[in-house]
Amino acid sequence: MSESEARRRLAVPLDVSSLGEARALVGALEGVPGWLKVGFELFGAAGPQALALAGESQRVFLDLKLHDIPNTVARAVAVATAQGVGMLTLHAAGGAAMLAAARDAAAEGAAAAGAERPLLVAVTVLTSLDAAALKEAGVPGGVGDQVARLVDLACSVGLDGVVASAQEAPAIRRRAGPDFTIVTPGIRGAADSADDQSRTATPGQAIRAGSDLLVMGRPIVRAPDPAVAAAAVVAEIEASLGAPAD
C-alpha cells in the first residue's frame, strides 16, 4: 500500500473556535491527512467559510450528526452537497425515512451541481458511550447489539457506511460486506490519554480490525508539531494495511 493510500485513511478534526485558528492548524498539518473534519465548534464559528478553508487543501468531512425530521435533514444535506462536502454524518437513530431522505437529497443535489455525491455515514453508538450509558438511555442489549441494529438500518436504505468504534468493526465488516465504509473515531496512540472516550483503539488496531477511515483529534491537534504527529499516524496506518487482524 502507498503512503497516499494511508493518508486517505486519516481525518483530523479542525476542533478550534475561529477561522484564524483553523487556518493556522491547516497550515501546521502541511497536507498530511487526507481529510479535514469540520464539526460543531468550528462550523458554529465560521459556517461555510470553514468548509471552504478545509476544501482548499484536503477533502472535507462535515460532522454535524444530523438528526431531525426527514425534510429538515434533506434540506441540510442538499446545502452541504452544494458546498462540496465529501462526507457527512447522520444519526442512524433518526430512522429509515430520515436516512432515505438524506440519501435522495445528496444524490439530487450532486446531480444538479454536476458534483460528486458526498459519502453519507450513519453514527451508530458514540465512542464515548459504553454498555452502562446505553442502559441509562433505555437501549436494550449491549453496544454490539445496538450497532448491529443500526448497521442493518443503514444498509437497508443504501447509505455508504457507519461511524463505529474499532471494537465493532470486524462484526460490521462481516455484516455489511467489503465495500461498506467504517469510520472510526476515538483513535489514540498507545501512550495517549483516552480523554472522554470509552471505546478507543490505536491506529494500527483500528486498521487491522477493518476500519477504513480513522478520526484522530486531540493527540494530533494538541501536539507541538501537528504535522509530525499526523505523519506518525500515517506511518502506523501504512504499516498496518494488509496486516492480519489482531
- Which CATH number does the domain housing residue 89 bear? 3.20.20.70
Domain assignment present for 53: yes
Q: Tell me if residue 140 falls in helix, strand or coil.
A: coil
Contacts of 205 (CB under 8 A, 6+ apart): 166, 246
Residue-level pLDDT, tens digit, the chain, 246 residues: 455 899 999 999 999 999 999 999 999 999 999 999 999 999 999 999 999 999 998 999 999 999 999 999 999 999 999 999 999 999 999 999 999 999 999 999 999 988 899 999 999 998 888 888 898 988 888 899 999 999 999 999 999 999 999 999 999 999 999 999 999 999 998 777 767 776 779 999 999 999 999 999 999 999 999 999 999 999 999 999 977 777
DSSP state at residue 223: S
Q: pTM for this structure?
A: 0.93
Domain assignment present for 189: yes
Residue 109: which domain range?
3-240
Domain assignment present for 246: no
- Spatial distance between the Cα atoms of 86 and 120, rounded to a whole number of angstroms: 9
How many domains does the chain contain in total? 1
Domain assignment present for 17: yes
Domain assignment present for 177: yes
Query: Would you name the residues annotated as active-site residues?
Result: 65
Domain assignment present for 47: yes
pLDDT at 37: 98
Domain assignment present for 13: yes
DSSP state at residue 110: H
Q: Which of 18, 105, 14, 110 is nearest to 61 (CA)?
A: 14
Domain assignment present for 245: no
Work out the widest C-alpha separation in the chain, in whole angstroms.
47
- Spatial distance between the Cα atoms of 117 and 105, rounded to a whole number of angstroms: 10
Radius of gyration for the chain, computed over Cα atoms and rounded to the nearest angstrom: 17
E strand intervals along 1-91: 10-13, 35-38, 59-66, 87-91
